Amino acid sequence: MRKPAIIAAVLIVAAAAVASQVATSRAGWHVLSETAINTKKLCRDGLTYTWATDQQDTQPPASRPLGAPRWRGPVDLLVQSGPSTLPPDPASWEDQPMAGADVFTAGYAPVKNPGPPVSWYPYSHSGTVPFRHPLTPVDDQVRVDTEPNGTNTTEVFLPVDACYLWGPIDIAPGDPSNTVDMSSGATVRVALLSTSTFRATTVAASTVRFGATGTEASPTASTKVDVNGDGRADLRLTFASGQTGLDCTSSTEASLSATDPASKKTFYEAAPVHPINC
């Protein structure tokens, strides 16, 4: 798989050593050839992380030293998805699909890797990578590549947790078969559910799209109501079925996309669907 072409303004990796293979872990720091990534949370719909560089043993000053660079980058962070049975080596992952990506610069913001051993990084950046399609826990894993436009391989292979960074969707709430009536003039309701860490009601309904790929129909109505009885208000939306791009012969799943108010990024959720009356 070829990486996207990104202008190499600054060489991040200070040493051209071969990257160490890091043991599989659901979260935590992974040190990779003078850079590091803290996979704070890896869920079925995305990844939150802190990326850091310029490793040193002692705590750097809180303020940027005179003459030190203001930032390091740009850096391309790539996330591929693949079956959990895939071996953790680059050759096996050559043609695996991209789950998501991020491009960023790391400013002077010292962070500590508690180790062991303890290490410090003067430059860091915290970010979010939404996955274009939610992955499946147990069955799927990801390859996180933190190499900024160099030739070294710096990667870590991680399992997918059952959590959500955002929230699951419920298509046709109350109908376990998720039936979507495709007859002329019909509508379908879809609920974006809140969780203990995500408030669906903070999402602007105007940013939501729903359909075969999650890019088709805009909502015709929305309301904030507890759909699943867990005591949390959810975002329930109504869509015109004829605008969703679903059909009775090939559609077995539908996706919803929306803008995350915190990161300003587009995230995607998906669920099975059963169209009728096409």
Question: At residue 131, does pLDDT exceed 90?
Answer: yes
The DSSP H or E segment spanning 210 is: strand 209-211
Please provide the CATH number assigned to the domain covering 169-276.
2.60.40
| Highest CATH level, class, for 28-159 | mainly beta
Computed over every residue of the chain, the mean pLDDT equals: 88
Least-confidence region, from 5-14, 33-42, 142-151: 5-14
Residue 14, sorted as left (phi over 0), alpha (psi -120 to 50) or beta, turns out to be alpha
180 and 216 Cβ atoms separated by less than 8 Å: no
Kind of pairing between the strands at 179-181 and 274-276: parallel
Q: What is the pLDDT of residue 12?
A: 27
Q: What is the pLDDT of residue 15?
A: 25
What confidence category does residue 9 fall into, taking pLDDT thresholds of 50, 70 and 90? Answer: very low
| pLDDT digit string, tens, across residues 232-262 | 999 999 999 999 999 999 999 999 999 999 9
Rounded to the nearest angstrom, the gap between the alpha carbon of residue 265 and the centroid of all alpha carbons in its chain is 9
Residue ranges of domains in the chain: 28-159, 169-276
